[in-house]
A and B are shown apart, each in its own frame.
Chain A
Amino acid sequence: MAISRRTILNASAKISAFLVITCFGLCRAAAVELSGYMSAEYRYSHHDALFSSSGQHNPSMALAPEFYTEWDNGEQSLLFSPFIRVDGEDAERSHADIRELQWLLVRDDWELRVGIGKVFWGVAESQHLVDVINQSDFVENTDTEDKLGQPMINLSLFQDWGTVDLFVMPYFRERTFVGRDGRLRGPLVVDTDAATYESGAGRHHLDVAVRWSHSVGDWELGLSHFYGSNREPQLLLNSTATALIPFYETMHQTGIDAQYTRESWLWKLEMIRRETSASTFFALTGGVEYTFYSVFDSDIDVGLISEYLFDDCDDVCRTAFEDDVLVGTRLTWNDVQSSELFVGVIHDLSSEDMAWNIEASRRIGDRWKVSVEGRFFNVDTVQSVLYPVRRDDYIQLELARYF
């Protein structure tokens, strides 16, 4: 069997530590630019845990520096951004990752990126269907917006008729899952060390992807195809029924994303068709974002977001969003402290289940930022994938120092 995930993590932490030390040394010597943040976080869970022994209080710290240097008149550069978290409760959430370690070569009509990188595709807010290159760092946040660094070679070609991106990904990153002592999990822990693959090559399967994207007047368009290991594993019972085992299928996924921007309206659509040897499914996210600027002669902007989430996966893959609606509002104060507030709820149309999300942030001085995040679940449907986490409502306070 291949190396366990813990070994990878240790290796990743060691490489990070080595590179950080080397970089700090280099920073003094050469023109290496250092930026990033460190943060302290406290998460309070409203209820006692259903499945784990963890309490209601969870402190945690993270460090995310970024080293950057360029040469050749800025046409070549190297970027290194490791990430380290130490969690007070969950050993699985204490983890290190290399988010980026990438060499970039810039030419007039093409760019080449080699190393570990991060890529975002898509236009929607509620979920990111077409965004398939990077694995989600699920222990960081269940909103799938934190990503693990993906080893890749990425060639971008710029043409009058759009940009073509080609990706070759020689190494697979497994999804992180909450451990025995963490919240936001089901009765069985996911045994990430026992992950299995449909492909015989396992995590060394050569994944490939191609994407065309273009701006045409008021339209932003994207068309993509991915072939490789599905970033979303199926979770299977192990032989003794004591844990879940991630199973990574091989898939073909075609995605379309489009945004139409007119006045204060943004119209968004993402669609995917995913084909594995076991099944084929279709999913869609579509909606609008409308912003009232400078409401009541103040500086405050009020944005309204509504998206519809659909997939025809039925009970086969048990996704969270089969027939759901997101309704949300984003308040932007446009003040010196860049104060922001987002409140949203995803409502399952086939039941009364709801998941609430609150995010707020504000700068303090020039270097500090305080953020609040809250997740609240009203879930009564036993069949729902959110049912196991129905008692894991939390509110989290984070204080970050940027440098």
Chain B
Amino acid sequence: MRKFLLLALLLLSPVVMAETPEEKGLAIALETDKRDKGWQDSYAEMKMVLRNRHGKESVRQIRVTNLEVDGDGDKGLTVFDEPRDIKGTSFLSYSHSLEPDEQWIFLPALKRVKRISSSNKSGPFMGSEFAYEDISSFEIPKYSYLYLRDELFNGMDCYVLELRPQYQHSGYTKSHVWIDKAEFRSQKIDYYDRKDSLLKTQIFSDYQQYLDQYWRAHTMTMQNHQNGKSTTLQWDDFQFKNGLNDGDFKKNDLKRQR
């Protein structure tokens, strides 16, 4: 009986059933995605610390609200609090898997809402080492997947996957992602530039679990190996299932963000 149960578990688990490295990679990605479904909407505050190669720091403060969209990319509303000269600037994004995202920005000095091009995937977000594509919502069709190996990272047993962007305008040829086997959380990502040389490493830490399901890293550090600069994101005050809906993510909503 016990043996039978074990066999059934093995059969049900897509990770173990996968045969080729591609299938295994996809199965791990699907499991990662599945475990983060159902949060509906989320709110968080983020402090961004930019460091140049001499260690000089610069700080940004933003608030991010997201809406989970079934079968498509999430909707996101970002409000900038610091630096003070861009206070009140807000940014709305409807992300999509392979189609271009829809994006609007509100410029408070002119009270102007402007639809902007979303082709800028690889450019720096607010002068940081995070590119727009690094902070956009994760969707399965955005990448192709390849399982590379198992490896220990910070004492955690991890899968290492290779992801290759399938969307246009990416600044990367590929990235390598370390996902822990216990909870399917990203622990580390190596990004390779268009010339296929190592560009950046992102480390995820201070994971906390919310609503008994959703793991969120409270610290993310991006180290650029080519220019010596780094950026740390410190996330705080996560809130889920606030009862938000489509109506809270319209371009009209940009104008009254504070």
Could you list which residues of chain A lie within 8 angstroms of chain B, going by C-beta atoms? 33, 35, 37, 68, 70, 77, 104, 106, 108-109, 111, 118-120, 123, 145, 156, 158, 163, 215, 220, 259, 261, 263-266, 291, 293-294, 297, 299, 301, 334-338, 363, 366-367, 369, 400, 402-403
The interface residues of chain B lying within 8 Å CB-to-CB of A119 are: 111
Interface size class of B (residues with CB under 8 A): 35 or more
> Which residues of the partner chain B approach A366 to less than 8 Å between Cβ atoms?
58-59, 82-84
State the CA gap A63–B114 with chains docked (Å): 27
The yes or no answer to B119 lying at the interface (CB within 8 A) is yes
Contacts A108-B247, A158-B250, A291-B120 given; indicate if A120 touches B112 (C-beta within 8 A).
Answer: yes
Cβ contact within 8 Å between A104 and B119? no
21 example contacts (A-B, Cβ-Cβ < 8 A) are as follows A37-B85, A119-B111, A120-B112, A158-B252, A215-B115, A220-B115, A263-B119, A264-B119, A266-B115, A266-B117, A293-B122, A297-B194, A334-B127, A336-B50, A337-B127, A338-B127, A366-B82, A366-B84, A367-B83, A369-B85, A402-B87
Q: Which of B86, B87, B100 contacts A263 (CB 8 A)?
A: B100
Residues from chain A with Cβ under 8 Å of B194 in the complex: 297
Which B94-151 residues have C-beta < 8 A from chain A?
Answer: 100, 102, 110-117, 119-120, 122-124, 127
In-complex Cβ contact of A403 among B84, B115, B250 (8 A): B84
Could you tell me the distance between the alpha carbons of A259 and B102 in the complex, rounded to whole angstroms?
A: 13
Q: Are B110 and A145 in contact (CB under 8 A)?
A: yes
Residues in B whose Cβ lies below 8 Å from that of A400: 85
Minimum C-beta distance from A172 to chain B (A): 20
Q: Other CB < 8 Å A-B pairs besides A263-B100, A263-B119, A299-B124, 13 of them?
A: A35-B84, A35-B87, A70-B258, A108-B247, A111-B252, A261-B115, A266-B116, A294-B120, A334-B123, A338-B86, A366-B59, A366-B83, A367-B85
Does B169 lie at the interface of the complex (its beta carbon under 8 Å from any beta carbon of A)? yes
B85-A402 in contact (CB<8A):
yes
Contact, CB under 8 Å: B117 / A291: yes
Rounded to whole Å, the gap between the CB of B96 and the closest CB of chain A is 12
Q: Is B14 an interface residue (CB 8 A)?
A: no
Cβ of B165 under 8 Å from chain A: no
Contacts known (A118-B111, A215-B251, A402-B87); A263 close to B256, Cβ less than 8 A: no
